[in-house]
């Protein structure tokens, strides 16, 4: 979406409406809670046939330029898909692939973009490896390194590499020539054992640690050094938006579970939903959902506006991530409490939503971190 959003808080076009309706129906049909639970025990975490259906719908190329095979509808269009995916806990490589594509668009050479972006549109999965064991949310503070001239020798460790085993290629941040850089690794470049499955709270996702020690690649695998820092800063903002969209959908999913329980469970011959002690927090969850969605689509509007400043984009995506993180964690916690003793058992579906909320809120900064960043910008 290339039009300016000046004086517009939220742009939500007819294309967005159609995408949201299509995605909502698709995710509801393809990802019932029974299917979600079946996939928890699989290695891949998602069904390959489902991923190919999403590719056929064109979702992998929505935010990719038309010149590289995409539809160039913008990041707001991707957010409208991730929201219903979050609502139904659908696990696919779409989030990780979208982030990798955005970094490639911003910092890749013409040859790299021309080679890899069409592959993403055709269904190749990709991912980012930005986080390190120290857990610094500043994507420019890096310990991993690449040293050498024509050939680079890598060293260091990366964590929280989403869908690392499923990705056809990975984009890894590290220090090169004493400044942040990004190297593009094909899955075939990784030696056996370089990727190790991590145990994380959100069992619907697959996360890996990446051992870079000893990996050798050509210097041609580096993204454009002059574009890398702004590219990393941009992809951080995109990640905040995408996680916030997933969280907004998750809040709606929690409400679905909660309302169904409150309107069927009886105590003392009364539906428990009739008690004010349960009504009021449920309304608070609904208000959190509406606030989160408003921030998400405002942030999407700002990111898609080519005229908006980096400061405005950072403000918008940081607010979206902070609001959605708190609202989702609150919703998941209340849902478990409302289910009583059953809520603390693994069979309670509210558990799956809370687990995703707790994992997502710490990706690319929690609410306290973002509010601290916003305080410095505003004051």
CB neighbour list of residue 70: distance below 8 Å, 6 or more residues apart:
61, 62, 63, 64, 117, 121
Residue given tokens 């809370």 in the structure block: 354
Q: Give the 3-state secondary structure of residue 172.
A: strand
178: how many CB neighbours lie within 10 A of its CB? 7
Q: φ and ψ at 150, to 5 degrees?
A: -65, -35
- Estimate to the nearest angstrom the gap between the alpha carbon of 99 and the chain centroid: 8
Distance CA 321, CA 299 (A): 10
CATH 3.30.200.20 for domain 127-224: no
Domain ranges in the chain with CATH number 1.20.140.10? 227-378
**Contact in structure between 1 and 13 (CB atoms under 8 Å):** yes
Joined together, the tokens standing for residue 367 give 């609410």
- The pTM for the full model equals 0.94
Burial of 246 (0-12, 13-18, 19+ CB in 10 A): buried
CB atoms within 10 A of CB 376: 8
Residue range(s) of every CATH 1.10.540.10 domain in the chain: 14-124
User: Does CATH number 1.20.140.10 belong to domain 227-378?
Assistant: yes
Span 165-173, mean pLDDT? Answer: 96
Q: What is the mean pLDDT of residues 134-154?
A: 93
Which is the CATH superfamily of the domain at 14-124? Acyl-CoA dehydrogenase/oxidase, N-terminal domain (1.10.540.10)
- Compute the half-sphere exposure of residue 56: CA atoms within 13 Å on the CB side of its CA: 7
Q: Is the dihedral of CA 153, 156, 161, 164 positive or negative?
A: positive
332-375 tens-digit pLDDT? 999 999 988 888 888 999 999 999 999 999 999 999 999 998 88
Question: Where does the chain hold its CATH 2.40.110.10 domain(s)?
Answer: 127-224
Q: Each residue of 12-71: pLDDT tens digit? A: 888 889 999 999 999 999 999 999 999 999 999 999 999 999 999 999 999 999 999 999
Of 246, 251, 231, nearest in space to 321 by CA: 246
Q: pLDDT of 90-142, one tens digit each?
A: 999 999 999 999 999 999 999 999 999 999 999 999 999 999 998 889 999 99
């Amino acid at each position: 979406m290339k039009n300016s959003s000046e004086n517009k808080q939220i742009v939500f076009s007819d294309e967005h409406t159609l995408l949201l309706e299509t995605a909502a129906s698709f995710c509801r049909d393809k990802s019932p809670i029974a299917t979600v639970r079946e996939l928890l025990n699989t290695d891949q975490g998602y069904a390959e046939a489902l991923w190919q259906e999403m590719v056929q719908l064109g979702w992998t190329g929505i935010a990719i330029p038309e010149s590289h095979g995409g539809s160039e509808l913008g990041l707001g269009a991707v957010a409208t898909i991730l929201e219903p995916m979050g609502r139904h806990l659908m696990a696919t490589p779409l989030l990780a692939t979208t982030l990798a594509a955005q970094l490639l668009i911003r910092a890749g050479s013409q040859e790299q973009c021309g080679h890899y972006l069409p592959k993403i549109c055709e269904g190749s999965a990709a991912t980012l490896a930005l986080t390190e064991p120290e857990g610094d949310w500043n994507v420019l503070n890096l310990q991993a390194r690449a040293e050498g001239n024509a050939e680079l020798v890598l060293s260091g460790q990366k964590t929280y590499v989403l869908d690392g085993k499923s990705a056809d290629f990975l984009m890894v941040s590290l220090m090169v020539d004493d400044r942040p850089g990004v190297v593009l690794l094909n899955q075939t470049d990784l030696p056996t054992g370089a990727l190790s499955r991590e145990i994380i709270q959100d069992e619907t996702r697959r996360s890996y640690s990446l051992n870079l020690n000893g990996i050798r690649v050509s210097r041609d695998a580096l993204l454009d050094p002059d574009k890398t820092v702004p590219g990393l800063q941009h992809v951080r903002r995109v990640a905040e938006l995408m996680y916030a969209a997933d969280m907004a959908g998750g809040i709606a999913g929690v409400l679905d579970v909660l309302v169904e329980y409150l309107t069927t469970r009886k105590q003392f011959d009364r539906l428990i939903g009739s008690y004010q002690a349960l009504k009021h927090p449920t309304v608070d969850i609904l208000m959190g959902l509406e606030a989160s969605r408003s921030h998400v689509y405002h942030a999407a509007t700002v990111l898609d506006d080519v005229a908006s400043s980096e400061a405005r984009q950072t403000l918008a995506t940081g607010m979206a991530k902070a609001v959605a993180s708190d609202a989702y964690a609150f919703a998941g916690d209340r849902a478990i409490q409302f289910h009583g003793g059953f809520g603390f058992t693994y069979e309670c579906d509210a558990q799956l939503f809370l687990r995703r909320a707790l994992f997502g809120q710490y990706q690319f900064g929690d609410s306290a971190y973002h509010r601290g960043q916003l305080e410095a910008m505003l004051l």
